Amino acid sequence: MQRWNVNLSSNDWQRHPEADSVCRSLIDGGLVAVPTETVYGLAADATSGTACARIFQAKGRPSFNPLISHLPNLEAARHHGVFDDRALKLAEAFWPGPLTLVVPKTEASEISDLATAGLSTVALRVPSGPIMRYLSEKTGRPLAAPSANRSGKISPTRAEDVIADLGHALDFVIDAGPCEVGIESTIIGLTDEHVTLLRPGGLAREEIEKVLQTKVRTPASNNQPEAPAAPGMLTSHYAPNAQMRLHARAVAPNEALLSFGVDPIEGRESALAEANLSPSGDLVEAAAQLFQAMRTLDSSGAKTIQVQDIPNTGLGEAINDRLRRAAAPRS
Ligand code: TXA
Ligand code: MG
């Protein structure tokens, strides 16, 4: 595995010789860990069945689970997906950014059946993280990229997390520091007359409702492991080694505490470890800290992580979704 450190605040990262090597690797079917504003992605050429198969193999991911394809802009995305008025409105309002649209796949799209899991729909995203957009533009390929972690584990928000989990399987890792949003993109389904929230994420539902002037529907199946609307939404997911306990009322000395705000909780002082997602109660900050905090508490060796309640508005919906999955019974 080769490593490329990118400093996004300087303008010449695109001219770095490593940029060419990474593009060549992708065109040759390589696996590259790429930072986006949400989480680090495990990227490969979405038009190559072999390259996509390598993603599934590296992640140990069930292959019925389709992948998101990343593109440099809306125009490139329209080659692969059919955009109705609603899709265009959302893309214009929120791309580049933490929003994925599931739309009907076009006849012309070269995205492989393995990336779409054989569905007639396709998940498309134009991230605001510039490296993924740049690599897609340069290679002329849509880039399939799930989060760069082994299936069912915590999503990575730093290059070190990726290397620890998947380093052996990668051709390149691009390190641009911690991800800004820290939680995966919101996935909106637009394949029928409804606007469906397939996965809450880094863009709040309220923002989408404001732009479309309509209610966003939550499929009941989001909470049913047997028939998830977004096939990747298996109940037990994002799992640390420790057991997560939601709605904490007290914490024992051998337990860890995932806290939020400054509400008092019994036993805090003697807990084995504590991470506060946002002492000031800011949900954007909490989303950005979530996965890192789970990793830190997990490495404290505690068998149980007690989790304080988090409001379910704005990005709180996505945070609570991830916490529920992390706390779900494991198979
Ligand atoms: O923020 C993100 O979205 C990150 C970064 C790397 O872009 N990517 C990510 O991908 O979270 P992944 O593969 O972990 O999640 C993809 C989700 C899965 O739950 C999958 O089932 C759903 O998208 N999905 C993909 N194609 C779909 C389709 N055609 N219909 C319904 N759900 C789909
Ligand atoms: Mg994931």
pLDDT at 239: 81
Closest Cα to residue 147, out of 103, 182, 120? 182
161-182: per-residue pLDDT in tens? 999 999 999 999 999 999 999 9
- What mean pLDDT is predicted for residues 307-311? 97
Pocket test for ligand 1, best of 36, 147, 149 (most atoms within 8 A of CB): 147
Average pLDDT, the chain: 93
Query: Token digits for 274?
Result: 């504590």
From the CB of residue 167, how many other CB atoms can be counted at a distance below 10 Å? 14
Q: Is 68 in the pocket of ligand 1 (CB under 6 A)?
A: yes
256-303: per-residue pLDDT in tens? 999 999 988 999 999 999 999 999 999 999 999 999 999 999 999 999
Q: Is 174 in the pocket of ligand 1 (CB under 6 A)?
A: no
Closest Cα to residue 265, out of 281, 252, 254? 252
Q: Which atom of ligand 1 is nearest to the CA of 42?
A: 6
pLDDT at 227: 45
How far is the C-alpha of 110 from the C-alpha of 114, rounded, in Å?
Answer: 11
How far is the C-alpha of 279 from the C-alpha of 293, rounded, in Å?
Answer: 13
Q: Is 119 in the pocket of ligand 1 (CB under 6 A)?
A: yes
Pocket test for ligand 1, best of 42, 99, 100, 237 (most atoms within 8 A of CB): 100
Q: Which atom of ligand 1 is nearest to the CA of 199?
A: 19
pLDDT at 10: 86
The Å distance, Cα 67 to ligand 1 centre, comes to: 5
Q: Is 203 in the pocket of ligand 1 (CB under 6 A)?
A: no
- What mean pLDDT is predicted for residues 88-100? 98
- 8 A C-beta contact, residue 277 and residue 258: yes
The Å distance, Cα 185 to ligand 1 centre, comes to: 8
pLDDT at 100: 98
Virtual torsion, Cα 64, 98, 184, 47, nearest 10 deg = 30
Virtual torsion, Cα 174, 179, 182, 187, nearest 10 deg = -70
194-250: per-residue pLDDT in tens? 999 999 999 999 999 999 999 999 987 655 444 455 655 556 667 889 999 999 999
Closest Cα to residue 144, out of 38, 247, 55, 239? 55
The percentage of the chain sitting over the pLDDT mark of 70, rounded to a whole number, equals 94
Q: Is 219 in the pocket of ligand 1 (CB under 6 A)?
A: no
pLDDT at 286: 95
The Å distance, Cα 96 to ligand 2 centre, comes to: 20
CA 120 to chain centre: 22
How far is the C-alpha of 41 from the C-alpha of 185, rounded, in Å?
Answer: 11
Closest Cα to residue 33, out of 128, 167, 123, 151? 167
15-69: per-residue pLDDT in tens? 888 999 999 999 999 999 999 999 999 999 999 989 998 998 899 876 668 999 9
Closest Cα to residue 137, out of 72, 220, 50, 40? 72
